[in-house]
Structure 1
């Protein structure tokens, strides 16, 4: 068990996502991490969005479902590791935000 569960008991599935696709997967980890997969087959559109509460919101776009879903899964352990190094809820000071910057940059460089 990885701790990832369906976000909001699955109520978002089938709805419109923030990137204009239909939400096909939407998962949460401990109320602080979220991964959402959106799809629009009519335009070969696949989006994966991730967030770390108070720290990061990042969107990725793909033209193939298999690649998008593989990256969705690959991002889970990386997000968990990132969260373990950051203060829950966001930085409490400018200095804390500066210390988090390289961690966030490394994640973004890996998952861009």
Structure 2
């Protein structure tokens, strides 16, 4: 499992979901994505998600903070992927997973 350029890097330089120019766009092979945009109305936006489970956007004021946050989000997404329950997982494991998603979204 690893991070790769989303769609072979074809999205870089194009408009993203927050109408900014995409600077970084990476996908985890296990089913996550994180996109960094330079925007007009806010300096930077980072949109990230776990396929089929959540999507969230944060707005950042500086380039360095956006790069640091981008890296931190990737690390945290990897932690969620590590506990992603299989389809028939027990209810308590599924509940812990969604609680971890909630905590993650609140941090960012």
TM band (smaller chain): 0.7 to 0.9
Aligned pair count reads 108
Cα distance, 1:31 vs structure 2: 4.8
Tell me how far 1:101 sits from its aligned partner. Answer: 2.4
Q: Which residue of 1 aligns with 2:99?
A: 102
Taking structure 2 as the reference length, the TM-score comes to 0.84
Query: Secondary structure, in 3 states, of the residue corresponding to 1:107?
Result: helix
The change in CA–CA distance for 1:64 and 1:57 in structure 2 (over 3 A counts) is same
**TM-score, normalising length from structure 1?**
0.82
1:60 correspondence with 2:58: yes
Contact residue 55 and residue 91 of structure 1 kept, 8 A: no
CA RMSD after TM alignment: 2.5
Q: Which runs of 5+ in 2 are unaligned?
A: none
